Amino acid sequence: MINTFDVIVVGGGPGGSTTAAFLAEKYGKKVLLLEKEQFPRDKPCGDAISGKSMGVLTELGIKTDIESTNPIKTHGVVLSSPKGVVLDIPFKSKDPNRHSYGYVCKRFIYDNILFQHTKGLKNVTTIEKFQVNDLLYDGTQIVGVIGKNLDSGKEMQFTAKVVVGADGANGFVAGKLGVGGFDDNHRVISIRAYYDGVKGMKPAIEIHFVKSLIPGYFWIFPLNDHEANVGVGMIASDMKKLKMNLQKEMLEIITNHHVFKERFKDAKLVSDIKGWNLPLGSKIRKCAGNGYVLVGDAASLIDPFSGEGIGNAMYSGRLAAQIINKAFEKNNFTITTLAEYETTLREELTPELKTSYYLQKLGQNQLLLNWVIEKAATKESVREILSGMLANTKAKKGLVNPLFYLKLLLS
């Protein structure tokens, strides 16, 4: 194998596969894509894919491949208050960067379609079951990686002008660079399981603010008309403070909560219950430097309110490819050029991530949740406002404006 490439991408999830695909197909770069697992592989997640991903999928030419697997198209969100009032809000997006629908698709399927598409591109070399163990430096410049083939045990090293860290929240690259790790105030711990036979599902994601779980929430995301991704999530610092056992709480809600016990009465658990960590975008990591960029979860880009990370992972992958191509045009692979990636990423995502962080905090206030959801449940005008805000990045800022709540009070 030729051991020199233009770019090395570590991690084959949505962020890494998107980065590699754009670099190879749009910019003609010779890319090595390294992945520790063997695809297809499971990835604990809520499986919800926001409207932000649709444009990237279209550019990659694989939106029809995703749709051929018959994922649920979600056209709205169902919310319920701590009192149990249920509110159905359709997405009505006028935001050019966000479609008015998303998908729910198992990551076992979704990630594999992305990875296999990228693997099939002529400028991409992929090695699965490869563990990166070190970074290669020339002075302060990263110039490659050292790792081991997990099948053969053979150690190998590869060089490139840029290394992309796309190996997840607790991945090697961010850790080696000293920007990894978690802040419990900006980390969600989640668990999820698959249930078959859940009643009453619609083509909408469900987020339920159950009283016993506040400041966390319970979700039901439909995979088809009978199977669902079911889970709970909570900020790590709150979970530790409350000494919360998430699995016990989730099973208690499913079995005994007055809103859900009938819906799960005949449902069967058809998977293991798995947990994972979500590094929230309320604290974006340093994600560019001499010879490297970080994308997706490795850059800590998960939405603090919804917990969705695929949209921002794919957005960051497309942006990373664009800036890396500029570095090749300038023949400058230092922070001088690559800093544009981090600057643009922050300019584009920080306003939305900050708003979502404020919404996360508001979502911990039971009185406010009860009041807003009850208002919207009884007044169509309020539902229309919420629908526009939830589907529009700029309009969403209104949800953290005190004037919005004053209008609700007077309505």
Q: Residue 64 has what pLDDT? A: 94
Number of domains in the chain: 1
**AA letter at 231:** G
356 pLDDT band, cuts 50/70/90, is confident
**Which CATH number characterizes residue 301's domain?**
3.50.50.60
Q: How far apart are CA 197 and CA 190, in angstroms?
A: 22
Mean pLDDT of 66-86: 90
Q: Residue 358 has what pLDDT? A: 82
Range from 298-307, 348-357, 396-405 carrying the lowest mean pLDDT: 396-405
What is the domain extent for residue 147?
A: 7-71+102-182+280-359
Edge-first strand listing for the sheet containing 155-159: 130-138, 141-149, 155-159
Q: Residue 402 has what pLDDT? A: 65
219 pLDDT higher than 90? yes
Torsion of CA 102, 271, 297, 118, to 10 degrees: -70
Q: How far apart are CA 258 and CA 255, in angstroms?
A: 9
CA distance from start to end of the chain: 69
Mean pLDDT of 108-129: 97
Q: How far apart are CA 149 and CA 232, in angstroms?
A: 36
> Is residue 42 a part of any domain in this protein?
yes
> Is residue 32 a part of any domain in this protein?
yes
Cβ atoms of 235 and 188 within 8 Å: the answer is yes
Residue position matching structure tokens 């159905």? 88
Mean pLDDT of 220-235: 94
401 pLDDT band, cuts 50/70/90, is low
> Is residue 91 a part of any domain in this protein?
no
> Is residue 317 a part of any domain in this protein?
yes
Q: Sort residue 332 into left (φ over 0), alpha (ψ -120 to 50) or beta.
A: beta
Mean pLDDT of 36-50: 93
> Is residue 301 a part of any domain in this protein?
yes
Most confident option among 59-63, 348-352, 360-364: 59-63
How many helical (H) and strand (E) elements, i.e. helices and strands, does the chain have? 12, 20
1 pLDDT higher than 70? no
How confident is the prediction for the chain on average, in pLDDT? 90
Q: Which of 180, 191, 214 is nearest to 283 (CA)?
A: 180
Mean pLDDT of 347-362: 84
353 pLDDT band, cuts 50/70/90, is confident
51 pLDDT higher than 70? yes
Q: How far apart are CA 126 and CA 76, in angstroms?
A: 37
Residue spans of alpha helices (H) in 287-393: 310-330, 335-362, 366-378, 380-391
287 pLDDT higher than 60? yes
Tokens (6 digits) for 12: 């084959």
**Judging by beta carbons within 10 Å of its beta carbon (0-12, 13-18, 19+), is residue 271 exposed, middle or buried?**
middle
Contacts 24+ apart (CB under 8 A), 266-272: 266/197, 266/199, 267/195, 267/196, 267/197, 267/198, 267/199, 268/195, 268/196, 268/197, 269/193, 269/194, 269/195, 270/194, 270/195, 270/196, 270/227, 271/193, 271/194, 272/193
> Is residue 253 a part of any domain in this protein?
no
Q: Residue 367 has what pLDDT? A: 87
Q: Residue 155 has what pLDDT? A: 95
In sequence order, which residues have a C-beta less than 8 Å from that of residue 385 and are 6 or more positions away? 398, 404
Cβ atoms of 165 and 174 within 8 Å: the answer is yes
> Is residue 195 a part of any domain in this protein?
no
Mean pLDDT of 162-190: 93
242-284 per-position pLDDT tens digit: 999 999 999 999 999 998 999 999 999 999 999 999 999 888 8
98 pLDDT higher than 60? no
299 pLDDT band, cuts 50/70/90, is very high
351 pLDDT band, cuts 50/70/90, is confident
132-158 per-position pLDDT tens digit: 999 999 999 999 999 999 999 999 999
Report which of residues 248 and 308 the model is more confident about: 248
Mean pLDDT of 58-83: 91
Mean pLDDT of 278-293: 92
Q: Residue 360 has what pLDDT? A: 82
> Is residue 298 a part of any domain in this protein?
yes
61 pLDDT band, cuts 50/70/90, is very high
- The percentage of the chain sitting over the pLDDT mark of 90, rounded to a whole number, equals 68
Cβ atoms of 312 and 302 within 8 Å: the answer is yes
Q: How far apart are CA 30 and CA 41, in angstroms?
A: 25
